[in-house]
Amino acid sequence: MSHHHTVKGVSVDAETRCAHYHSAIDRIAIKFFCCQQYFPCFECHQAIGCGNHQVWPKDRFQEKAVLCGSCGHELTIDEYLACASICPSCTLPFNPGCNLHTYLYFG
């Protein structure tokens, strides 16, 4: 659980870090479009997710689908893509390297 949201994955900590991504700034979870469940990363979803991976369609980017593991704030996809890797609520940084993997989550 992370701030009243269940985050599934492999060795998930209180700030949504997992066995795959666990640096100090790895603090987001992503709600996967296919199963509407939060996971820290694509690898966690592959390991224990629904087995039917689908990316979020662009016309649904206004929906909340990113969770800050530090404060529990939920961001829409549009907000996340525009936030410059900083939580708009608690101002703690997100891993900017996650931007390299957005194609795995958002269409």
In a domain, 94, yes or no: yes
61 domain-assigned: yes
Q: Residue 14 — very low, low, confident or very high, per pLDDT cuts 50/70/90?
A: very high
Structural domain contains residue 18? no
In a domain, 48, yes or no: yes
Would you list the DSSP string of the chain? -BTTB-B-SSS--TTS--SS--STT--EEEE-TTT--EESSHHHHHHHS-S---PBPGGGTTSEEEEETTT--EEEHHHHHHSTTB-TTT-PBP-GGGGGGGGGTB-
Does 21 map to a domain?
no
Q: Tell me how many domains the chain contains.
A: 1
Domain range for 37 is 28-104
For residue 2, is pLDDT > 80?
no
Q: What confidence tens digit (pLDDT) does each residue in 61-94 have? A: 999 999 999 999 999 999 999 999 999 999 999 9
pLDDT in tens, 29-39: 999 999 999 99
**79 inside domain:** yes
Identify whether 65 is part of a domain. yes
